[in-house]
C-alpha cells in the first residue's frame, strides 16, 4: 500500500477481528500510522505487523525516522507533550494524538508501548484483548 510519500508494508493474517468501536479503533491506528509517516520524513517505509491469538491482538507499527530519547519515550503519552525537536520544527500537531491513542487502548483493557532509538526510528506495540471479558 502506498501512502503519500511512504510505502506501508503490512504483514498480517488473512483475517483478524478487532473488538471495539470502529471509529475509535480507526482513530487509534490513524493516529499511529500518520505519526510514523510524519516523524520519518527521510525514510519511505512504515512496517505494520499483526499477530493474533485467542487472548489478544498485537500490532507493531515501525518507522525508520527520528526516534526518541529515553526521556521523550517516558513522556510521549502525556497530554500536549511534544518533543523539543518537534517544538522547534515546522511539524504540525497539538500533542494530543498519542494521548488519545493511549486512552483508547486503555479503555479496551489493552496496552501501548514504544521502543525507540534516537536517529533510528520507533516501534509502537499495541496489545488489545481479542475477547471482552
Residue extents of the structural domains in the chain: 2-129
* The 121-129 sheet, strands edge to edge: 2-3, 6-11, 45-52, 56-63, 121-129, 111-117
- Running DSSP on this structure, what letter comes out for residue 105? H
* Grid coordinates belonging to 10: 503490512
- pLDDT for position 82: 72
pLDDT at 62 over 70: yes
- The region of weakest confidence among 20-34, 38-52, 74-88, 91-105 is 74-88
Q: Say whether 98 sits in a helix, a strand or coil.
A: helix
**Count of CB atoms situated within 10 Å of the CB of 88:** 9
**Count of CB atoms situated within 10 Å of the CB of 37:** 19
CATH 3.40.50.10300 is the classification of domain 2-129: no
Question: Which alpha helices (H) appear in the chain, and where do they start and end?
Answer: 22-38, 70-75, 84-88, 97-107
- pLDDT for position 37: 92
* Grid coordinates belonging to 54: 485467542
Q: Say whether 64 sits in a helix, a strand or coil.
A: coil
- pLDDT for position 16: 80
- pLDDT for position 54: 86
Mean pLDDT of 69-90: 75
- Running DSSP on this structure, what letter comes out for residue 114? E
* Grid coordinates belonging to 79: 497530554
What global pTM score does this model have?
0.86
Amino acid at each position: 500500500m502506498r501512502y503519500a510519500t511512504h510505502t506501508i508494508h503490512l504483514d498480517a493474517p488473512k483475517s483478524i477481528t478487532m473488538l471495539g468501536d470502529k471509529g475509535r479503533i480507526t482513530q487509534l491506528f490513524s493516529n499511529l500510522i500518520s505519526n510514523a509517516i510524519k516523524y520519518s520524513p527521510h525514510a519511505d517505509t512504515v512496517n505494520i505487523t499483526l499477530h493474533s491469538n485467542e487472548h489478544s491482538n498485537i500490532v507493531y507499527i515501525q518507522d525508520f525516522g527520528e526516534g526518541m530519547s529515553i526521556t521523550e519515550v517516558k513522556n510521549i503519552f502525556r497530554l500536549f507533550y511534544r518533543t523539543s525537536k518537534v517544538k522547534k520544527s515546522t511539524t504540525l500537531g497539538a500533542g494530543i494524538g498519542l494521548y488519545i491513542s493511549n486512552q483508547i487502548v486503555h479503555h479496551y483493557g489493552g496496552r501501548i508501548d514504544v521502543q525507540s532509538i534516537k536517529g533510528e526510528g520507533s516501534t509502537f506495540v499495541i496489545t488489545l484483548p481479542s475477547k471482552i471479558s
